[in-house]
Amino acid sequence: MTIQQAIFILLALVILGSAIFVVTTRNLFRAALMMMLTFFGVAGLFVLLEIGLFAVAQVLIYIGAISILIIFAVMLTRGMQGMVPRNSQATAAAVVAGIIFFVLLLLFGPLRTTVDVARWPVISLIAGNASPRDVGGIQWTPAGQPIPPVPETYIADFGRALVDLNQYLLPFLLIAFLVDVVLAGAIFVARQRRPAEVIEDRQRQAEEAAEEAEAMRQAGMKPDAAALPEGAVASTADH
């Protein structure tokens, strides 16, 4: 066993162990911390794949941003941490997840010996009469050949591909727009309403209820029945 294999197995154990802890623990705060460990393990896998760019991006975005965001949410919803970890469908969920895992293993089974892109059904369908090796203008690694190293300029190539009209410019612009909209939307949804706004809302609702009661009384209904919704509306507006 080479040292890389040993590191891979160690990283896999860390990733899977901490992931299982994340989905089973009762304490949400610990779950968030263990999720950071999972993300670190995945960053380690990216290092083994010789993609330093994505290992750094993983640490910056997942560990630096997303995990911190989740920890904030856990703290803001205090009192929810000691909850029952599983709902009533937990057994069914475990069975479904297990079945999907075995289906995935069956799908990946043929890839154990060799991976020949030319024999993939979709690729040969797209290729038609052309050579399957050139589908999409991509130089696929031929089966049985050693894997070429990542080009030294891969980060620059990646950057150019993102702003190349013939490659990923449109998805890149779309996703930039999506992030803009999402951040504005998140601020709008989660904003704290000022007490004045809440009071205004409550007054308006009470007036509406009073008008409704008045209309009902004029229509000849019992006033008691109409007075009840007014209190109910006022109490739900308290939050």
Partner 1 sequence: MQNVLNGIPLWWYLVVSSALFCIGLYGVLARKNAIALLMGVELMLNAANINLLAFWRYLAPASSGGLAFAAFVLVIAAAEAAVGLALVISVYRVTRSIDPEKLDQMKL
Question: Restricting to residues 66-105, which ones interact with partner 1 according to CB under 8 A?
Answer: 66, 69-70, 72-74, 76-77, 80, 83-87, 89-90, 92-94, 96-98, 100-101, 104-105
Out of 54, 206, 229, 233, name the contact with partner 1 by CB under 8 A: 54
* 209 three-class SS: helix
Do residues 18 and 37 lie in contact, with contact meaning Cβ atoms separated by under 8 Å? yes
Q: Which of residues 194-213 bind partner 1 (CB under 8 A)?
A: none
Nearer to partner 1, 172 or 227 (CB): 172
Q: How far apart are CA 31 and CA 18, in angstroms?
A: 9
236 near partner 1 (CB under 8 A) = yes
Compute the least distance from the CB of residue 218 to partner 1, in Å: 27
C-alpha pair distances (Å), 91 with each of 94, 95, 97, 98: 5, 6, 10, 11
36 near partner 1 (CB under 8 A) = no
Nearer to partner 1, 9 or 221 (CB): 9
Give, as one character, the DSSP assignment of residue 140: P
Q: How far apart are CA 99 and CA 93, in angstroms?
A: 10
117 near partner 1 (CB under 8 A) = yes
* 56 three-class SS: helix
